[in-house]
Amino acid sequence: MTFEWDYLMEVLPLIAQASLVTIEATLGGFALAAVLGLLLAVLRSLRFAPVRVAVSVFIEAVRSTPLLIQLFALYYILPGIGIIIPAMACGILALGVHYSCYCAEVYRAGLDNVPRGQWEAATSLNFTTYDTFTRIVLPQAVPPVVPALGNYLITMFKETPILLTISIIEMMSRALIIGKDTFRYTEPVTVVGVLFLLFSLTSAWGVRRFGAWLTGRWG
Amino acid sequence: MTFEWDYLMEVLPLIAQASLVTIEATLGGFALAAVLGLLLAVLRSLRFAPVRVAVSVFIEAVRSTPLLIQLFALYYILPGIGIIIPAMACGILALGVHYSCYCAEVYRAGLDNVPRGQWEAATSLNFTTYDTFTRIVLPQAVPPVVPALGNYLITMFKETPILLTISIIEMMSRALIIGKDTFRYTEPVTVVGVLFLLFSLTSAWGVRRFGAWLTGRWG
Amino acid sequence: MEPIIKFDKVTKRYGDLTVLDRLDLDVAPNEKVSIIGPSGSGKTTVLRLLMTLEKIDGGVIHVDNEPMTHMPSPGGTLVAANEAYLRRVRGKIGMVFQHFNLFPHMTALGNCAEAPIRVLGLSKDEATGRAAELLEMVGLADKINHYPSQLSGGQQQRVAIARSLAMRPKIMLFDEVTSALDPEVIGEVLEVIRSLATEHNLTMLMVTHQIGFAREFSDRICFFSDGRIAEQGAPCEILDNPRNERTQQFLRAVLHAT
Amino acid sequence: MEPIIKFDKVTKRYGDLTVLDRLDLDVAPNEKVSIIGPSGSGKTTVLRLLMTLEKIDGGVIHVDNEPMTHMPSPGGTLVAANEAYLRRVRGKIGMVFQHFNLFPHMTALGNCAEAPIRVLGLSKDEATGRAAELLEMVGLADKINHYPSQLSGGQQQRVAIARSLAMRPKIMLFDEVTSALDPEVIGEVLEVIRSLATEHNLTMLMVTHQIGFAREFSDRICFFSDGRIAEQGAPCEILDNPRNERTQQFLRAVLHAT
Amino acid sequence: QSLKEKYRNEGVVVGLAGYAPYGYKLIDGTFTGEQVEVVKHVLGKMGINKISYKVMSFGALIPGMVAGRLNMAAAGIYIRPKRCKAVLFSQPTFGQGAAYVVKKGNPKNLHNFKDIAKTEGAILAVLAGGTEYTLAKKDGVPEEKLMQISDKAAGIGAVLAGRADGFALSALAIADIARTAGDLIGVESSGGITEIAGETYQGHGAIAFSKGQTEADLKAAMIFRDEFTAILKGYLAAGGGYAEMAGRWGFTSAERPSKTMKELCGSGL
Ligand SMILES: Nc1ncnc2c1ncn2[C@@H]1O[C@H](COP(=O)(O)OP(=O)(O)OP(=O)(O)O)[C@@H](O)[C@H]1O
Ligand SMILES: Nc1ncnc2c1ncn2[C@@H]1O[C@H](COP(=O)(O)OP(=O)(O)OP(=O)(O)O)[C@@H](O)[C@H]1O
Ligand SMILES: [Mg+2]
Ligand SMILES: [Mg+2]
């Protein structure tokens, strides 16, 4: 089987268009995961036991169930009780909630790495818990874990093909559909592989820059 | 739709059997990932620039491409150049190599956390590079990251359904196939969900015990 | 005069380990007290309890005639303190740590202005103005825009002192504030503390191993051993004529090592 | 007598910062030399270069009449040293670090026996026997099966000294070995070094801020300032009659701070 | 050594997609389905008894044969010119139209693709890249009324959840769903669709064969395929036994093929 450039040029625009869907779902899901994950991590770090336990159970439950099942439930089971969410919103919600639990672990590591002395200094200066988090602890906890969060961004990119379950066609599904139609998988799959590489490298670079920018000011 | 226990008892043995495939692929892949990941991390930490760059590029490339594409290439494209690997071996290889790149990151964090002073003490006592790694650095770098490796073990469990692409039917695919036959997904998928939870909790527990055992001796 | 700090049979345990054992300790307003003693004897714990960084397991601590960690209920009995009450009591106390604990993501000025803005509710201008004054007082007028990582240990510790003072405490706690410093810069930090002691009406409680400085600085020295005060009194009494055997042994080891 | 250590116009830079500036330094066999000086003056760097933990940017260091970091090629000229050559030269030197750097996953005995087994190729029995002897020598006969986390700072540092000695070095380097210790245990570590100095034929190079100990222990004191030796000589010369202004200022600051 | 002898000795690997009614595994671990029974019958006549089945996703079957991982596929793959370039086909064993499942009682009264196009707000779920997608579009269903999903579970889920009004598959597959599970989950068939854009439509399913890697392989494969087809023709002929067998899955005379492999493949082999 040879590699046909003409054919590649033919499928490229189709896949490029579908890649916008990939990007939308990934970035939307990641934004949600980053914010919700931070919230979960902070709630879990509080001394108030019921909240801590509830958050831990939630995280454990979400992480132990495949994303596929969560997507399915959100899109096909929730309408049974009258809750109808559009496909893309479901996709972003499921990706976001699922990965927020992973992000929470990452943030937790960041929080753990803030020396106890920083908390104690904040207490000795009489900061409220809220100020301690927002002004003292998070500005130190978040920048070092930005690269680890970036890894999940890349993982999420690669996870998006699963959204076909709920009728969202991103670039990988598009490539496989084209392949099914023509029985030439090599070119479309190659295009998608290259796009994945491109996205991953771009976001890795972006994340590194962002992380450097966050810390750079006080290295 | 009600939940039928009789039906559940009927599908349980089939799914339990398929779960052996899940376990084989996961444990095999994880063993490979853990060993290869360590090797990659150590190679990347060496001062020899060409090796370091080659390893980094390899890791970046593997991590940036979906596992699905890698599986596809290994199983369907390699035979084109005369290399035919049995399905299960392909599955373990693809899972193992893919996740070895994630494990390498984890090990890297472990290596970075060994204080510079430990390397310097080893140099001042004239250890060879090999002895420095095996006797001094790795025994300190690995135990703390065992929980993080465990997370990938659980992720790999959940990733195995993708092996259907290369004709390996593990428990999730089995459940969906049973569901397709009978159009009753609830019971088989519930069984699989419970099994996933069981596996995850068991391995999380096992990993914690193992990590504790590794460090416990000198905590 | 009423003591401003009063430990009344205070007990502190970590698991099975009793770190403070029914400790009594009174400090008068404006008094300067040094705490010396072997490692693990509970010196730091005394300061941490005052700063409410730890909970006590028995006894009462009064600060400024108010019980801390317990608060008076409407009926007159003492109940466990809530966060709001603790914050009010805590406002009277400032603490300087062995490892400075400066906020690495803020400049010297930011370190000193942040708490006054957030906690005391000062305007940004006022807080910054006062922070600059305090930094000048500790001799760092030219470093106000430096980040901690750009400062030497001695400079960082002086910022930490200014940061505590910015909250206008009545009581200052110092926990081995020079033991993480290069020998050459220890002097500059002690100098600042010395001038604070003479120029301000502050009650000061200092854990230290600088015997020479303790002698010159303090009104009283307490020698701690195994969670109790083994011996206390004027510096010359304790340092030159220790009666307790453990004190003698400790001073011998410390003075011998220089 | 030929010097056992010879720095010949040694330069060391970190980026733009010149840390050692064409440094000359000779140490005779069995000589005890103390290095004092302000923070950042390059004291630690001298030891780290000798231990080959850093590469030099100019000049030559000879140890035991062999150039290190450069080795003689068959043609007689000096070429960059390879790992095998470095390991041979390095075998003559032992180093004790400020933060002990014990291996936390090995007992005291393991710490002292590991390198003799792996590097010198001793049998397990022989290495363990000698390790036990050395630990007894530093006063830790009863702690040989303790892990570092179960030992006090002073005990850990004594294990570190025993660990270095187990490799039978000709030269011992000490980098502020007491400055991370509680004051009460500093004495026990200095005691071990003192007895080493008198009872063994070892060349010793010690960076320290314990001026009193340096005076008693050393044959010579070198005062470092900005990557050069500003002044050197017998302890009484340097400490009691410093001629260099920077030395005077340093000694004033350090002695004042106690 | 001919392929027949090789398969007699070493056995043959047959790919399945795991779908009823073509080829799937029973709960007792054996395999059945219309295509599987055809393969069993014909290979049995050829003296080949060592048959191992591999279930994989439908999209992986043709790549699997191209890569030499499968010798044959018994999944009711429709014969199409593009596919004929990649693999060999036997004579078709059936020709069928399309259909879709709707909720019990067919509340929107939908029966074919044109109804979907006409009815305000009607949505039809189809497998991504599946034949039914192409057919529906050809018959005038606009893109926005089509919902492409990953698999059967999602398709049925969509109908039950009201995300779609119908879920289209081949007529036989829909009949199978309606027959085995219709009452249980509350769906029924829209009825067969055999006219698309004014033309009669039938999808012709056949057994597919790997072409192998070389010219020699191809020749051997064609000889084998031709022999297979010869026996198959007898089986398909009236009284040959096929009709009784396939009837178990609801195949009727309406599903008899109307074209030959040569006609369907065009220039293919
Ligand atoms: N969070 C803790 N958990 C358990 N034990 C603790 C904790 N904090 C302190 N301790 C123990 O309490 C005892 C007293 O500690 P403290 O820090 O008050 O001693 P110290 O007199 O300040 O000693 P040093 O001179 O070493 O600072 C020590 O034995 C210490 O190990
Ligand atoms: N790895 C490094 N990279 C960059 N600069 C370094 C590095 N190591 C040391 N330096 C710088 O080199 C100079 C000399 O360092 P050195 O550790 O020799 O000083 P020192 O005399 O031992 O001081 P101290 O008394 O503080 O230990 C210092 O300015 C230090 O910041
Ligand atoms: Mg203390
Ligand atoms: Mg130094």
Q: D51 or E178: which carries more pLDDT confidence?
A: D51
pLDDT of residue C106: 95
Q: How confident is the model at residue C257 (pLDDT cuts 50, 70, 90)?
A: low
Q: E240 or A56: which carries more pLDDT confidence?
A: A56
Digit-coded pLDDT (tens) for D187-242:
899 999 999 988 888 999 999 988 889 999 999 999 999 999 999 999 999 999 99
Supply C38's token pair: 């072997």
* Average pLDDT value for residue range E206-235: 92
Across the interface, whether the CB atoms of D101 and B120 are under 8 A apart is answered yes
Query: What is the Cα–Cα distance from E234 to E230, expressed in whole angstroms?
Result: 7
> What's chain E's average pLDDT?
88
Which of E29, E67, E181 faces B80 most closely, judged by CB atoms? Answer: E67
Window 84-103 of A, Cβ < 8 Å to E: 84
HEC string of D43-101 equals HHHHHHHHCCCCCCCEEEEEECCEEECEEECCCCCEEECCHHHHHHHHCCEEEECCCCC
Which of E62, E130, E153 faces A183 most closely, judged by CB atoms? Answer: E62
pLDDT of residue C96: 97
Give buried/exposed letters for E183-203 (b at 16+ CB in 10 A, else e). Answer: eebebbbbbbbbebeeeebbb
Residues C159/C148, Cβ–Cβ less than 8 Å: yes
Residue of A nearest to B102 (CA): A151
Q: How far from each other are the two terminal CA atoms of chain B, in whole angstroms?
A: 54
Q: Residue B216 pLDDT more than 80?
A: no
Residue closest by Cα to atom 16 of ligand 1: C42
Q: Which residues contact B48 (CB under 8 A, 6 or more apart)?
A: none
pLDDT of residue A208: 84
Q: Within chain C, how many helices (H) and strands (E) appear?
A: 9, 12
Q: How confident is the model at residue B89 (pLDDT cuts 50, 70, 90)?
A: very high
Query: What is the Cα–Cα distance from A153 to A99, expressed in whole angstroms?
Result: 9
pLDDT of residue E268: 55
Query: What is the Cα–Cα distance from E84 to E32, expressed in whole angstroms?
Result: 25
Domain that holds residue C133: 100-168
A120 touches chain C (CB under 8 A): yes
**Residue A41 to chain C, least CA–CA distance (Å):** 21
Residues E238/E256, Cβ–Cβ less than 8 Å: no
pLDDT of residue C222: 96
Q: Is residue C156 part of a domain?
A: yes
Residue C227 Cβ inside 6 Å of ligand 1? The answer reads: no
Query: What is the Cα–Cα distance from A46 to A52, expressed in whole angstroms?
Result: 7
E216 touches chain B (CB under 8 A): no
pLDDT of residue A217: 60
Query: What is the Cα–Cα distance from C202 to D4, expressed in whole angstroms?
Result: 57
Which of E148, E151, E162 faces A169 most closely, judged by CB atoms? Answer: E148
ipTM value of the model?
A: 0.80
pLDDT of residue A126: 95
Q: Residue B180 pLDDT more than 80?
A: no
Question: Can you tell me which atom of ligand 1 is nearest the CA of C37?
Answer: 21
Output the CA C45–ligand 1 centroid distance in Å: 7
Q: Which chains touch D (3 or more CB pairs under 8 A)?
A: B, C
A and B in touch (3+ CB pairs within 8 angstroms): yes
pLDDT of residue A65: 79
Q: Residue B1 pLDDT more than 60?
A: no
Give the ligand with the smallest distance to the CA of C174: 3
pLDDT of residue C254: 84
Q: Which chains touch C (3 or more CB pairs under 8 A)?
A: A, D
Q: Is residue D205 part of a domain?
A: no
Supply E223's token pair: 């000889």
Q: What residues of chain B lie within 8 A of the CB of E152, using their CB?
A: 180
Q: Compute CA D248 distance to the chain's CA centroid, rounded to the nearest angstrom.
A: 25
The single residue listed with the structure tokens 């305007």 is C123
Residue closest by Cα to atom 31 of ligand 1: C40
Residue D42 Cβ inside 6 Å of ligand 2? The answer reads: yes
Output the CA C53–ligand 3 centroid distance in Å: 14
Across the interface, whether the CB atoms of B61 and A197 are under 8 A apart is answered yes
The single residue listed with the structure tokens 């698991």 is C15
Closest-CA residue to A172 (of A189, A186, A185): A189
pLDDT of residue D18: 93
Domain count, chain D: 1
pLDDT of residue A122: 96
Instruction: Indicate the range of A189-193, C176-180, E50-54, E214-218 predicted with least confidence.
Output: A189-193
A and E in touch (3+ CB pairs within 8 angstroms): yes
pLDDT of residue B218: 57
Q: What residues of chain E lie within 8 A of the CB of B15, using their CB?
A: none
Residue C180 Cβ inside 6 Å of ligand 2? The answer reads: no
Q: What residues of chain D lie within 8 A of the CB of C216, using their CB?
A: none
A154 touches chain B (CB under 8 A): yes
Query: What is the Cα–Cα distance from D155 to D178, expressed in whole angstroms?
Result: 11
Output the CA C20–ligand 3 centroid distance in Å: 13
Residue closest by Cα to atom 28 of ligand 1: C40
Q: Is residue C152 part of a domain?
A: yes
A217 touches chain C (CB under 8 A): yes
Query: What is the Cα–Cα distance from E111 to B4, expressed in whole angstroms?
Result: 33
Output the CA D38–ligand 2 centroid distance in Å: 11
Which of A66, A189, A204 faces B158 most closely, judged by CB atoms? Answer: A66
Residue closest by Cα to atom 19 of ligand 2: D40
Supply E44's token pair: 């049995």
Output the CA C152–ligand 2 centroid distance in Å: 13
Across the interface, whether the CB atoms of C254 and D210 are under 8 A apart is answered no
Q: Residue B2 pLDDT more than 70?
A: no
pLDDT of residue E267: 62
Q: Residue E196 pLDDT more than 60?
A: yes
D212 touches chain B (CB under 8 A): no
Digit-coded pLDDT (tens) for C3-60:
999 999 999 999 999 999 999 999 999 999 999 999 999 999 999 999 999 989 988 9
Across the interface, whether the CB atoms of E156 and B183 are under 8 A apart is answered yes
Say which DSSP state A190 is in: H
Q: Residue A1 pLDDT more than 70?
A: no
Specify the CATH number for A20-172; select among 1.10.3720.10, 1.10.10.10, 3.40.50.2300, 3.70.10.10.
Answer: 1.10.3720.10
Query: What is the Cα–Cα distance from E151 to B208, expressed in whole angstroms?
Result: 38
Q: Is residue C151 part of a domain?
A: yes
Backbone angles phi, psi at E169, to 5 degrees: -145, -170
Q: Collapsing DSSP states into helix, strand and coil, what is residue B1?
A: coil
Residues E19/E35, Cβ–Cβ less than 8 Å: no
Q: How confident is the model at residue E269 (pLDDT cuts 50, 70, 90)?
A: low
pLDDT of residue D189: 92
Residues D193/D161, Cβ–Cβ less than 8 Å: yes
Q: Compute CA C157 distance to the chain's CA centroid, rounded to the nearest angstrom.
A: 13
Output the CA B151–ligand 4 centroid distance in Å: 41
Q: Please report, to the nearest 10 degrees, the dihedral formed by the alpha carbons of residues C82, C88, C89, C93 taken in order.
A: 130
Output the CA C151–ligand 2 centroid distance in Å: 14
Q: Residue E14 pLDDT more than 60?
A: yes
The pairing of strands D171-175 and D203-207 is: parallel
Across the interface, whether the CB atoms of C101 and A121 are under 8 A apart is answered yes
Q: Residue D2 pLDDT more than 60?
A: yes
Query: What is the Cα–Cα distance from A169 to B136, expressed in whole angstroms?
Result: 51
Residues A185/A179, Cβ–Cβ less than 8 Å: yes
Query: What is the Cα–Cα distance from B50 to B46, expressed in whole angstroms?
Result: 10
Closest-CA residue to C192 (of C161, C234, C237): C161
Across the interface, whether the CB atoms of A189 and B72 are under 8 A apart is answered yes
Residue D19 Cβ inside 6 Å of ligand 2? The answer reads: yes
The single residue listed with the structure tokens 């398929």 is B18
pLDDT of residue B172: 80
C197 touches chain A (CB under 8 A): no
Q: What residues of chain E lie within 8 A of the CB of B180, using their CB?
A: 18-20, 24, 152-153
Digit-coded pLDDT (tens) for C118-131:
999 999 999 999 99
Query: What is the Cα–Cα distance from B167 to E17, expressed in whole angstroms?
Result: 10
Q: Is residue C149 part of a domain?
A: yes
Count how many Cα atoms sit within 13 Å of the Cα of residue E29 in the half-sphere of its side chain. 5
Residue C43 Cβ inside 6 Å of ligand 1? The answer reads: yes
Please state, in angstroms and as integers, the Cα–Cα distance from residue C141 to each residue in B123, C133, C163, C191, C193, following that order: 44, 8, 14, 16, 17
Angle between helices B5-45 and B49-64 (to 10 degrees): 160
Q: Is residue D158 part of a domain?
A: yes
Say which DSSP state E79 is in: P
Q: What residues of chain B lie within 8 A of the CB of A204, using their CB?
A: 60
Residue closest by Cα to atom 7 of ligand 1: C14
pLDDT of residue B76: 74
Please state, in angstroms and as integers, the Cα–Cα distance from residue C249 to each residue in C231, C242, D178, E44, E200, following that order: 13, 10, 19, 100, 108
Output the CA C40–ligand 1 centroid distance in Å: 5
Q: Which chains touch B (3 or more CB pairs under 8 A)?
A: A, D, E
Please state, in angstroms and as integers, the Cα–Cα distance from residue D150 to each residue in C13, C55, D104, following that order: 20, 27, 10
Residue of D nearest to B219 (CA): D149
Count how many Cα atoms sit within 13 Å of the Cα of residue D174 in the half-sphere of its side chain. 35
**Residue B60 to chain D, least CA–CA distance (Å):** 30
pLDDT of residue B217: 58
Residue closest by Cα to atom 31 of ligand 2: D40
Percent of chain B scoring above 90 in pLDDT: 37
Residue D44 Cβ inside 6 Å of ligand 2? The answer reads: yes
Say which DSSP state A66 is in: -
Strands (E), chain D: 5-14, 17-27, 32-36, 58-63, 66-68, 70-72, 78-80, 93-96, 171-175, 203-207, 220-225, 228-233
Output the CA C16–ligand 3 centroid distance in Å: 19
Residue C107 Cβ inside 6 Å of ligand 1? The answer reads: no
pLDDT of residue A24: 95
Residue E206: strand pairing partners:
E77
Q: Residue B182 pLDDT more than 70?
A: no
